[in-house]
Structure 1
Amino acid sequence: MVDGKAAEAMPAKGKNADLPARAVSALVMVAVAGLALWLGGIWLDLFIGAVVVATLAEFVLLVLKATRQQGARFIGIAAGAIYIGLAGSALIRFPSAMVIGIIGAVVFVDTFAYFFGRTLGGPKIAPAISPSKTWAGLLGGTVGAAIWLTGWLYVVSHAAVGSVGDWLDVYDMVQLLGMGAVVAVFAQAGDFFESWLKRRAGVKDSSQLIPGHGGVFDRTDGMIPVTLLAAAVFGAAL
């Protein structure tokens, strides 16, 4: 078994050697998710259910590798089932616009964090847990989330009232950056949690299902806490 720290520290063939595979896989994932969102109804529910099952299966495998005591395994799997299940249940109950908002926000956080981190480098946030996460990446995630939220809120507001008026002033920009920072922190917290679990399990990825991205849990780790955040903030109104 490859040690988690050693696996994450292995030098890449090139700084962006995995970019082509990541790009192709990302396009496929966007296409599949987009089709499910376009079809809506039972198809969207089935898609979300399949993602939840795949995420939970990978989580269980990580827990089994990371723990030896049966009691710890039971607690870990039970907690993970609640953690992942609640997020999946919230996504199914959310309207499509909210699902798009959550997915887009996390994708923008991950994408901007990836490129800011690779380009700027700099100090690590918690190298003992995830050597690849930098403060520059968190800044990029904040910027990405703010950009996405700006566009998403514009579209949602326009669809709701037909016009958004002069809403994007300095105060609004500060609010959007603040919202972007919160979303980025929650998404990164999910990343850190999975990174910690993978290091305990001694693996680099939750699986090898998605070329360039690892497993399904590697893609949903940040989405779970962001979904739970959205459920806590907007759940009662929906």
Structure 2
Amino acid sequence: MAAADPARKKSDLGVRTVSAVVMLAVAGSALWLGGPVWMAFVGVVSLGVLWEWVRLSRAAIAGPAARGLMNFAGMFYVGVGAAMLLFLRNPAFSFGPVLTVLLTVIGVDVGAYFAGRSLGGPKIAPAISPSKTWSGLLGGVLGATLVLFGAARLWQEGLVSVLVQGNAADGPSCFGAQPCWYLTAHAVPLFAQCLMTGIFVAVCGQAGDFFESWLKRRAGVKDSGNFIPGHGGFFDRVDGLLAVLFLLAFMIAFQPR
């Protein structure tokens, strides 16, 4: 039995890799094509997340009234996140804003994974998510900060003009900032602004991950679904991104005019 474990892990890694490549290809194609294709892609993923949310709520929450409130919260939460994705990918912008958000969240996940695996250390909330460590959170902050700093430098050097479609102008349209919602405090050094935003994104992303882990633990399941081989369900893949999009939407909606 012990000899079979490495082979099984290798097989799981292969499945996860193939699934990840397919997911990236589908999502990247939809993002590139935009328009109805992007709307359909976001709609399918959102419906998948809501379906898994309802299943988890049914198993985790007692009482029809409480489950109803939980499902209503899910519709609002997922709906705002989906609306934000559609808002970021529209003809008024280049690819800069939406790619900045998506790549920053990916930077959080990658940084947290490698820092957590390499450094280990104290757990943040072992009763909810035993694998999450403080070193992983710091790695997530670093990953997000580097992505944001790279995006800002590319924008300043004019190296992202290839991503601009038609007359898109992120300067005046993208929340009054370039390349996206940060870089508004011009007296603050660039890296410090990226660091502050990186902390925000990393904490939000980890909070979204913890929320889903809490819900799954209450429901007594390991994954939110089994639609994506080796990766679980839709909710498992976008838990951190949803939290970031949700709070970003409120920051934009209530920013000073």
TM-score surpassing 0.5?
yes
Work out which structure has the larger RCO, using CA pairs closer than 8 Å and 6 or more positions apart in sequence. Answer: 1
Contact map agreement 2:141 2:202 (CA 8 A) in 1: yes
The 5-angstrom pairing of residues 137-148 of structure 1 reads: 137-148=136-147
**1:213 equivalent in structure 2:** 231
**2:151 equivalent in structure 1:** 152
Change (3 A) 1:218 1:117: same
Q: Matched residues in 2 for 1:186 and 1:235: separation?
A: 18
Match of 1:48 among 34, 42, 46: 42
**1:195 equivalent in structure 2:** 213
**2:52 equivalent in structure 1:** 58
Contact map agreement 2:149 2:194 (CA 8 A) in 1: yes
Q: Matched residues in 2 for 1:23 and 1:118: separation?
A: 19
Residue identity in the other structure for 1:213: H
Q: CA RMSD in A?
A: 2.7
Q: Matched residues in 2 for 1:214 and 1:234: separation?
A: 32
1:43 to partner: Cα distance: 0.6
Unaligned runs of 5+ in 2: 90-94, 162-168, 171-178
Q: Matched residues in 2 for 1:71 and 1:21: separation?
A: 40
Percent identity among equivalent residues? 50
Deviation track 1:75-103 (CA, whole Å, cap 9, x = no partner) reads 11011111111111121122343222222
**1:79 equivalent in structure 2:** 73
1:105 to partner: Cα distance: 1.3
Unaligned runs of 5+ in 1: 1-12
- TM (norm. structure 1) is 0.84
**1:31 equivalent in structure 2:** 25
Q: Matched residues in 2 for 1:200 and 1:130: separation?
A: 12
**1:8 equivalent in structure 2:** none
Contact map agreement 2:142 2:198 (CA 8 A) in 1: yes
Q: Matched residues in 2 for 1:97 and 1:230: separation?
A: 16
> Higher Cα Rg: structure 1 or 2?
2
Q: Matched residues in 2 for 1:155 and 1:55: separation?
A: 34
1:230 to partner: Cα distance: 2.2
1:155 to partner: Cα distance: 3.7
